[in-house]
Amino acid sequence: MKKAKKPVRNSATSKLRAAIGPAPLSIVILAAGQGRRMQSDLPKVLQPLAGMPLLQHVLATARELEPAALHVVYGHGGDKVRDTFASEPVQWALQAEQRGTGHALLQAMPAVPDDHRVLVLYGDVPMLRASTLRELLATAASGQLALLTVQLTDPTGYGRVLRDARGRVRAIVEQKDATAAQRRVREANTGVMVLPAKRLRSWLTALRSDNAQREYYLTDVIAMAVKDRLAVAPLVAASETEVLGVNDKLQLAQLEAALRAELANQAMRAGATLADPARFDQRGTLVLGRDVFIDANVLFEGRVELGDGVRIGPNCVLRDMTVGAGTVIHPNCVLEKSSIGADCSVGPFARMRPAGRLEDQVHIGNFVEVKNSVVGRGSKANHLTYLGDATVGEGVNVGAGTICCNYDGANKSRTVIEDKAFIGSGSMLVAPVTVGAGATIGAGSTITKDAPPGKLTLARGRQVTIEGWQRPVKKS
């Protein structure tokens, strides 16, 4: 009997698929879990990791894959979750009743076209790399079901991946339904998989809840795919940390430490010197020049850019800052939403509030606060000074204890200090007011009118000594 030939249409279909590329991608993020073990009123996917909600990390990774559509299945704390991500271009699907992962995914499927591939992610698995997911998508490019697995030292609590003698994936069994032999398997299911949408839809509607937890397991579709003769292509994750989920505050802290270490390594690979990588905190984007030095207990939030040769002392917070080359930030400074030029000296114990700008070679010393002000090149305010709503020119010297009195209880007004002016210690500049170029303000003055350029201006009460006065004493 002659061996039957393969139908020509299969070959043609394969060639057509190769020519037009993989099917469009829909990503579905399952984020409906309550997270009882968190012991928190905040929904689990809103718990913070490196200053951002868990779900935000997952959304950021998903966007890197440039999907045709991005879906989030939400449930517990739904209003809070949706409000937090109101600006995100996602399609929301409500899982009103918690009936398992298969049931959760089914809620998003009405909005997913049959010709798409579906990548399933989880709102409490925040450290998956886009590179890993691209590899998983490539594994599923030919229409297969691709499954991300992981080898765990202790797989307790995870579903086990069951393979046959030839190493092919045959099924996944959950911990509570596994036999003693199956529980000894160390290859665990991460839950992350890529599936063809049309077949996934049929598998999900066929799920049954006759298991230990009376839930509709998404993992059961693996056995269904095998039964339908669809190859299951496994990809083993490179590390445990990348695929770990978060169920309680202990696991959240463990991931925080892991992410902190990873970001510290990235900073050092970029050329930064860290005094102690274990005491480095990055909660956002950090752009580094060459030969940057960062001391212990420095916290970066938002987007921070550090120029070449910047040095940051211990115990500083930088939030949405730009720092120019050669600038030194001394210990214990809090700097936010401002910019600092090149070759400046800031601190110790200095504060920059939003909309501050220091030009090059500016010195801002201990207990100096700058808010919504521009300080010109080469100017100095070395101690105990408040520059609020001020425009300070070049080469200005601001003495200790100077205050720009910018607020009258209803309105903010601006103080202008022109080039090379000298402000004596203990001066009050009551805005709106201008100190002219080269002017000198005598120490202890309260300036309420414009001070002319190049002249000495004083505004002091007459000093009086009271003869015969005696300090009061306590009665015995």
Instruction: Output the domain CATH number for residue 421.
Output: 2.160.10.10
The C-alpha angle 287, 289, 293, rounded to 5 degrees, equals: 100
How many other CB atoms are there within 10 angstroms of residue 48's CB atom? 13
Q: What is the pLDDT along the chain (476 residues), one digit of tens a residue?
A: 444 444 334 444 444 444 446 889 999 999 998 788 899 989 999 999 999 999 999 999 999 999 999 999 999 778 899 999 999 999 999 998 889 999 999 999 999 999 999 999 999 999 999 999 999 999 887 768 999 999 999 999 899 999 999 999 999 998 889 999 999 999 999 999 999 999 999 999 999 988 878 899 999 999 999 999 998 999 999 999 999 999 999 999 999 999 999 999 999 999 999 999 999 999 999 999 999 999 999 999 999 999 999 999 999 999 999 999 999 999 999 999 999 999 999 999 999 999 999 999 999 999 999 999 999 999 999 999 999 999 999 999 999 999 999 999 999 999 999 999 999 999 999 999 999 999 999 999 999 999 999 999 999 888 899 999 999 898 88
Contact indicator for 26, 69 with CB cutoff of 8 Å: yes
Residue 292 placed within a domain: yes
Residues 6 or more apart whose CB falls under 8 angstroms from that of 357 comprise 338, 339, 340, 341, 373, 374, 375
Question: Residue 121 and residue 126: Cα distance in Å, rounded?
Answer: 9
pLDDT of residue 21: 62
Options 57, 103, 116, 383, the catalytic residue? 383
pLDDT for 231: 87
Residue 143's pLDDT is what?
A: 67
One domain, residues 209 and 79: yes
Residues facing residue 146 across a β-bridge: 194, 233
Q: Does 114 map to a domain?
A: yes
Whether residues 186 and 328 share a domain: the answer is: no
Tokens of 314: 């211990």
Position 465 in a domain = no
Q: DSSP letter for 309, please.
A: T
Residues 176 and 122 in one domain: yes
Identify whether 67 is preceded by a cis peptide bond (ω within 30 of 0).
no
Task: Yes or no: say if 136 and 243 are a contact pair by the CB < 8 Å rule.
Answer: no
On whether residue 366 sits in a domain, the answer given is yes
Exposure class string for 309-333: b at 16+ Cβ within 10 A, else e:
bbbbbbbbbbbbbbbbbbbbbbbbb
Domain CATH number, residue 200: 3.90.550.10
Cα gap 225→41, rounded to integer Å? 39
Give kind and range of the element (H or E) at residue 192.
Answer: strand 187-196
130-134, long-range: CB within 8 Å, 24+ apart, which pairs?
130/61, 130/64, 130/65, 132/235, 132/237, 132/238, 132/242, 133/61, 133/65, 133/192, 134/65
> CA-to-CA distance for 56 and 19, rounded, in angstroms?
35
Whether residue 305 is contained in a domain is answered as yes
Residue among 345, 374, 348 at smallest CA distance from 362: 345
- Does the active-site annotation cover 71? no
Amino acid at 181: A
User: Is 11 among the domain residues?
Assistant: no
Could you tell me if 239 and 276 lie in one domain?
A: no
**Domain residues for 120?**
20-243
Q: Are residues 384 and 426 in the same domain?
A: yes
Q: How many C-beta atoms lie closer than 10 Å to residue 69's C-beta?
A: 18
Whether 122 maps to a domain, the answer reads: yes
What are the φ and ψ backbone dihedral angles of 442, each rounded to 5 degrees?
-65, 145
**447 and 328 in one domain?**
yes
Q: Is residue 63 part of a domain?
A: yes
Residues 238 and 283 in one domain: no
Residues 164 and 286 placed together within one structural domain of the fold: no
| Same domain, yes or no: 59 and 192 | yes
Residues 154 and 281 in one domain: no
Q: Do 190 and 295 belong to one domain?
A: no
Task: Please state the domain count of the chain.
Answer: 2
Query: Do 225 and 288 reside in the same domain of the chain?
Result: no
Say how far apart CA 446 and CA 454 lie, in whole Å.
18
For residue 476, the model assigns a pLDDT of 80
